[in-house]
Amino acid sequence: MSLENKYKTILSVIIEALTPDLSLPVDEWSDRYMVIPKSTGSNEYGSYQTSRTPHAREIMRCLSDSHPCKRVVAKVASQMFKTQICLNWFASTVHQSPSNFLWLMPTGKLHKRIAGRIDKTIAAVDVLRERVAKPKSRDALNNQDAKEYPGGTLFIATAGSAANLSEVPARRVAIDEVDRGEDDVDGEGDPVKLAEARQTTFEHNKKSYYYSSPTIEGESRIDELFKQGTQRHALAECIHCGNAQQLHFESLVMVDGEAMYPCCECGGLHAESDKTAMFEKGLWSDPVCDSETESFTASAMFLPYGWKSWTSLMKDYEDAKKLLELGDESEMIVFYNTRLARCWERVKEATQASALRERAEDYKLGTVPMKACELTASIDTQGDRLEIKVVGWGAMMECWIVDYRIVLSDPSDEKTWKQAYDICTSEYMHESGAVMRVQQIFVDSGGLHTQEVYNFTMKNKSDGFFPIKGSEKPGRPIIPNKPTKVDYNHNGNLVKKGVTLWYIGTDTAKDNLFTRWKRTEGPGAIHFSKDLPEDYYDQLVSEYRANKWVNGRKKSFWDKKKQDRNEALDLMVYNLAAAYKIGLHRLTPAQWEKRLQKLIESVGQVVKPAVIKQQEKDPENKAFARGRSLMSSMRSRFRGRNR
C-alpha cells in the first residue's frame, strides 16, 4: 500500500471515530435502512415503509432511546406489526446504540422461526450485515441462540426456562406473545419479572417491549400489562368530517355484500379502499394516565388496505358464531383474541342438576330417537368398574343420551372388557326401525389400568376402539389433528410407538358442554332419557371453574368437591371428542338430512326430510307407526342379546 493510501485509510478511521453515533428514532431509522427480505415470504417485501402501517410509528417512537418510558406494551391483533416493530428495534439497536438484547419466544418452534427471520433480515440490511458476526465464525458468535455484534449480543431464548433468563445482563428485553408463554418458569416465578431482573444494571436507560394478542378475561398477562400503562387505542379519521374515532367491529354494516364502516359522528360510510386515508396519520387516543409503561391496543379493523378485509372479518365472525351456537366457543375465542385484540369472558352462570333432571324425555335408554343418525360411545375406567355411555348425534351437534351402563367388575379381568365390548358393538334400534351401530368408541387410559386399556383397544382397533388421555391444559383443542404414538408392553415385549393415543382437551370440551346444558332444542341441545338414574345429573354438573393464583396472576381451572363423582361428565367429554374425531361437527344441515334419509330408507321407508318433522308431530302417521311397530318387534331380541 502506498503512503498516500495509508494516510487516506488512517484519515477515514479517524473521521469515522469522531463522527457522532446516529440517534434516529426507531421509526425514522427503519424508513431509512430497514429491508423486508423476499425470502421471509412476505407479500410486501423490499424497503420498509412505516406509512404502510402508520399506527406502528408511535410504538416505535416509544421504543426509541429518546423516549422516557421504560416499558412498551402492544395488545394488538395477530399478523399486524408487532413482530416487525421488534425487528426494527433490534436492528436500530445494533446500528445506533449497541448493547445486549434479550428476545424471548413462547415456544422452541417459534424460537427457531424468529432466528431464521433475523438471519434473513441481517443478510438483507447493509448496516447489519457488516456488523453482526458471520454464521459459524471462529472469532465471534452467530447461531440460533446468540448473535454477536460490536457492543453487545442478541440472545434468543424461550420463556420456559429459568436458565435462559438468568445468564446475562441485558439493557433491552422483548417477549413475543407473552400470553402464550409459561406462567411459572421452573418454579422460579413470572417470566416477565425474571426477564426484567436482567436489566438491573441498566435502570437509567433500560427498555422492555411486550407484545401479544390477549386470551381469557382475568387471565391475560398482556391485558394486565396494558391496564398498567397509558391504555391508548388506535384511531381512524373519518374521510367525510375528519372526526378521529375508535373502530368497533360491531358497527360494521353490510352494503351490497361489502362490509362498510359508518362514522359515529356524521354517519358517512367508509369502504375498504378508504383505509389508507383513514389511517394515514397513525392516530392514537390520549393517555389515560402518566406511566412509565406506554400501552397500545389495535384490532384487525386497522389492518391496511390489501390485507385482511372488513368483509373477511365479518365472515370469520359468522363462522365462529355458528360454532358458538353449537356450544363450541373455541373459534369465537380465537376471533376475539387474535382479530379483535379483546379478552374472552367465559360464561359464569351454572346449570343446576335439578333443571336437567326436570326436562328428561320419555324415550327409552337403549333406543335412538328419530333425529339422531350417528352413534359414539365412551368407556371410563375406574378401580372396580367400567362405566359406558352411548350418545346419538343429529343435525348441528344436537345429541341424545342413548345408553348408560355400569359394568361392576374388575378392569384387570378380561371378562370385564368382554362385557364392555359386547355393549359397545351391539345393535341399537332407531325410532324409524333401522338398526344402528356405534361408529367410534373412546376408552379412557388414565388411572390404574392403562396397560389393560392398551391391550383392549389394540386388539379391537378395527371395531373403532381407541385409547384416550385427558389434558387439562387451557386452550388445547377438543381433539388434535393427529394422535400421539406411544410405547406399550405387549406380552412382555416393548412395542415402540405401538399405541395410537388421542389426547383430549378436557378443559375446552367442558367449556363446550357447560354452555349447552340449558339448550332444550335445536343446534347444540343435549337430551336426556327419563331412564337415567337420579345421580347421573349431579355428576354432569359436579365440576365448576375455580381460580388459583400463579405469581400474582389469576388462572382458572375445572375443579370439583372431593366427595363428588364426575364419571357422567367425563363420559360426555369423551363422546364429544369421539364425535369431533369422525368430523360430525363439520357436517352441514344438508349432509345431516342425507344421513338421516339414508338411515330411514334402510328399513324400506322413503321419507323426505320435510315429512320427518311432521312424523314427529303426528304419532299416528302411517309411516311413522310402521317404524314404531318394527322397532317394538325387534326390541325384545335386541335387549336379550345385550343382556
Domain that holds residue 489: 354-642
In a domain, 584, yes or no: yes
- Assess whether 294 and 391 both reside in one domain: no
- Assess whether 294 and 359 both reside in one domain: no
pLDDT of residue 609: 46
- Assess whether 172 and 68 both reside in one domain: yes
Looking at the structure of the chain, the number of domains it has is: 2
Domain stop point among 276, 299, 322:
299
Digit-coded pLDDT (tens) for 229-257: 999 999 999 999 999 999 999 999 999 99
Per-residue pLDDT, averaged over 79-93, amounts to 94
* 0.85 surpassed by pTM: no
DSSP annotation string for 281-340: T--BPPPSS--SEEEEEE-GGGPPTTSS-HHHHHHHHHHHHHHHHTT--HHHHHIIIIIS
Secondary structure of the chain: what % helix, strand, coil (to 5)? 40, 25, 40
Digit-coded pLDDT (tens) for 463-502: 999 999 998 887 789 999 999 999 888 777 888 888 999 9
- Assess whether 295 and 390 both reside in one domain: no
Domain stop point among 254, 279, 299:
299
pLDDT of residue 163: 60
- Assess whether 360 and 224 both reside in one domain: no
- Assess whether 118 and 191 both reside in one domain: yes
Residue 605 has pLDDT above 90, yes or no: no
- Assess whether 434 and 292 both reside in one domain: no
H or E element, residue 600:
helix 589-601
In a domain, 322, yes or no: no
pLDDT of residue 261: 97
pLDDT of residue 194: 81
- Assess whether 294 and 365 both reside in one domain: no
In a domain, 33, yes or no: yes
pLDDT of residue 473: 82
In a domain, 336, yes or no: no
The burial of 515, by beta-carbon neighbours within 10 Å (0-12 exposed, 13-18 middle, 19 or more buried), is given as buried
Task: Output the domain CATH number for residue 149.
Answer: 3.40.50.300
- Assess whether 226 and 373 both reside in one domain: no
Domain stop point among 299, 325, 345:
299
Digit-coded pLDDT (tens) for 273-297: 999 999 999 999 999 998 999 999 9
Highest mean pLDDT (candidates 162-166, 200-204, 429-433, 559-563): 429-433
Q: Pull the grid cell for residue 346.
A: 367465559
In a domain, 333, yes or no: no
- Assess whether 210 and 92 both reside in one domain: yes
In a domain, 265, yes or no: no
Q: Which of 373, 423, 433 minimizes the C-alpha distance to 596?
A: 373
In a domain, 542, yes or no: yes
Strands of the sheet with 71-76, listed across from one edge: 146-149, 152-158, 101-105, 172-176, 207-212, 71-76, 293-298, 232-233
Q: Are 59 and 85 in contact (CB under 8 A)?
A: yes
- Assess whether 293 and 360 both reside in one domain: no
Q: What is the DSSP letter of 532?
A: S
In a domain, 264, yes or no: no
Residue 349 has pLDDT above 80, yes or no: no
- Assess whether 401 and 294 both reside in one domain: no
Q: Are 318 and 272 in contact (CB under 8 A)?
A: no
